[in-house]
Each structure stands twice: as structure tokens, then as C-alpha cells.
Amino acid sequence: MSAAAAVTKALIRRQLGTDAPTPLVEQAHREARTHYSAFMRDLPHGGDSVAQLVVVRATYAALLPQLMAKALAAGVESKAGRELLELAMRLDQRCERLAVTTLDIATRLAEVERRKPGASFPWLVANDEPTRPAEGVSNADDDEPHDTDDGAAAGPTEGEEDAP
């Protein structure tokens, strides 16, 4: 298991509060990991801030079906059933908002990464130092003056440019 996978697994466990794991919590943990992997595959950037939001979304998405099942088992006509159904609807709304926010942040981070010079194609970025031809070598297409062997400039000096 990679380091990123171990961190994700630990984040999901912490999100579920698994101090005393039960079969139900273990099932929610497995489902949350599945949701996490699927959600991350759909995003253009997988930075830490994006991953944290996806962990929360995946956890809620894993808990939602269980909560809905409990609400239906309690009966939607009963007070407990209605409360569970209301909680499930709030979790569903939170998942929707997290989906939009996560995509927005991931898209922005991907755009920033894309705009970094040389991020996509580092071999196409020029070196920091400009290349200069060897001294005394002139280029026929070059109109700029070149240094001569005695160190004097071939073109006019600053004072001579202003002279009539």
C-alpha cells in the first residue's frame, strides 16, 4: 500500500470515529474507500485540500444508504423515522455541496499547475541563463554591435548618441 493510500485510509477511519470498530463501521469504511477512489479519479487535481474534502464526501456517501435504511426500518410515519430521513436529506445536500466545491477547487488547482512554466513539458522551458555566442563570433543576421578584441564597443557610446 502506498503512503497516500495509508493516509487516506487513516483519514476515513478518523472521520468515521472507529475507536471501537463494528461490522457496520467496517462496511462503511470499505464503502467510503471505494467512493473516495471513484471521486478522486474524476477530479483534475488531487492535492491535499481536495483529498480532505473528498474524504468527507466519501464518508457521507457511505453513511447515507445506511441512514436511509434505518429511516425506512423505523417507518417514515414515526417521529424517529422522520428525524432519520431529515438527517439523511441533510447529508445528501452536504454531499452535493461538497461535490461542487471539490470540483471547483480541483479545477482551479489544476489550472494553476498547468500555468506553471515547464510543469507539463519541462524539456521545452529555456534555461535561466541566456545563451550567448562565443566572443568574436558574429552572426550575419545579427544587427547588434559586437565587442571587439580591444574591448571597445563597435556602436556609439551614450554621449555620442545624443550628439547632432
Q: Which residue has the higher pLDDT, 78 or 156?
A: 78
> What does the chain come to in residues?
164
- 76-95: string of b/e by CB count within 10 Å (b at 16+)? eeeeebeebbebbeebeeeb
The answer to whether the predicted template modeling score (pTM) of the entire model surpasses 0.85 is no
- What is the reported pLDDT for 35? 94
* Residue pLDDT, tens place only, 65-89: 989 999 999 998 999 999 999 999 9
For residues 124 and 79, the model is more confident at: 79
At 36 the pLDDT is 92
pLDDT at residue 126 greater than cutoff 60: no
